Structure 1
Amino acid sequence: MADPHAPLVVVMGVSGSGKSTVGGLLAERLGVPYAEADDFHPPANIAKMAAGHPLDDTDRAPWLDAITDWITDRHGEGGVVSCSALRRRYRDRLRAAAPALFFVHLDGSEELIAARLTARMSHFMPPGLLRSQFDALEPLGPDEAGAVVAIDGGPQQLAERAYAALPR
């Protein structure tokens, strides 16, 4: 039976910030479904990023639509999805599907995240695109439901910080 109070959460941030790991742990803690936003990319987007080219808004449109559909399908059940959600207009688009959507922004220095990306194996996102993600990042506004979580620490610790930041 669905919990009408289960939250809908987007774990956001630049590539390498820990969205997938923290998102999965947070969903487990909440007992809700988890979705990895990378799985919603059409093959052309993955090929473009793998070739070292950043996505533009046209590339992101079908991806954001697919994530929005997933969020809409979770209404009344709750869920956690990882999604870079770098720009305010992307978050607004997602929030249109679920006005109570809560964003957890995993935040850290470019140096720390670059080191993580360099160590990461078998992911299509090359470290060379990190700067473009930081350039695109628009932090959460004071009128957006969400919290910033520092990424210093281990995955379990970050998931606990994210959980503690959720509205009750």
Structure 2
Amino acid sequence: MAKAVQSLRPEMMQAAYILVMGIAGTGKSVIASRLVNSLRGTFVEADAYHSPENVERMRQGIGLTDNDRWPWLTAVAEAAIGAEGRPVIIACSALKRSYRDFLRAKIGAFPILFLTGAPELIGERLADRQNHFASASLLESQLQTLEPPAEDEDVVYLDIRMSPDEIVVFALAQLDGRTSTGG
């Protein structure tokens, strides 16, 4: 990965914000943190902005409602706006188009890195998770809520069967190509 990252020119990374999204268990935090290191950016972990009530609901396997998510999304947007340094890499499920539109209205346009994979693989990952409030019991709720990003949302689809290094290299190449051509 180092060679691919070294070839990426920082001036080509013009996005102020980058959203790494997907349902629970797709690896948002891992990929976002690696992108932060590669781009020398700032990390906003959306999970850190859930209310204690939201965390407890998810621990119990209860999916969140829109009403549960709006204050959380507001806090995520405020954290991104207030973050030092750019780009700000936001790891956030942002499951619905309306949530992504809300974030865009608050922080401006951003490319989306959408982590996707087979429900069986995601279920295995969730079952293997240690010390996280989002467990396998939320998989069905997450899948039902998910509205995959549309092409007009500046989306890069990332297959979670790839290794984290492969995902990051591919994502960086896609972002570099888009910004270098004005895309």
User: TM-score normalized by structure 2?
Assistant: 0.85
Q: Say if 1:88 and 1:140, in contact at 8 Å, map to a contact too.
A: yes
- Secondary structure of the equivalent of 1:143? helix
User: TM-score normalized by structure 1?
Assistant: 0.92
After superposition, where does 1:5-84 map in structure 2 within 5 Å?
5-74=14-83, 77-84=86-93
Q: Say if 2:129 and 2:135, in contact at 8 Å, map to a contact too.
A: no
Q: Say if 1:105 and 1:146, in contact at 8 Å, map to a contact too.
A: yes
Q: CA deviation at 1:101?
A: 1.2
| Equivalent position of 1:143 in the other structure | 152
Q: CA deviation at 1:108?
A: 0.3
| Equivalent position of 2:96 in the other structure | 87
- Secondary structure of the equivalent of 1:149? strand
Q: Say if 2:41 and 2:85, in contact at 8 Å, map to a contact too.
A: no
| Equivalent position of 1:134 in the other structure | 143
Q: CA deviation at 1:6?
A: 4.7
Q: CA deviation at 1:75?
A: 8.8
Alignment coverage as a number of residue pairs: 166
Answer 1 or 2: which has greater helix percent: 2
Larger deviation: 20-29 or 141-150? 141-150
1:105 to 84, 100, 114: 114
**Residues 151 and 109 (structure 1), Cα distance of their counterparts in 2 relative to 1, 3 Å cut:** same
1:62 aligned partner, one-letter code = P
Could you tell me the percent identity over the aligned residues?
A: 38
- In the aligned structure 2, how far is the partner of 1:124 from the partner of 1:91? 23
- Secondary structure of the equivalent of 1:114? helix
- Structure 1 stretches of at least 4 aligned residues deviating more than 6 Å after TM superposition: none
Q: Deviations over 1:25-48 (max 9, x none)?
A: 011111101121100101110001
- Secondary structure of the equivalent of 2:35? helix
Larger deviation: 93-102 or 75-84? 75-84
- In the aligned structure 1, how far is the partner of 2:84 from the partner of 2:104? 12
Gaps of 5+ in 2: 1-10
Gaps of 5+ in 1: none
Q: CA deviation at 1:72?
A: 2.1
- Secondary structure of the equivalent of 2:18? strand
- In the aligned structure 2, how far is the partner of 1:16 from the partner of 1:76? 28
CA RMSD after TM alignment:
1.7
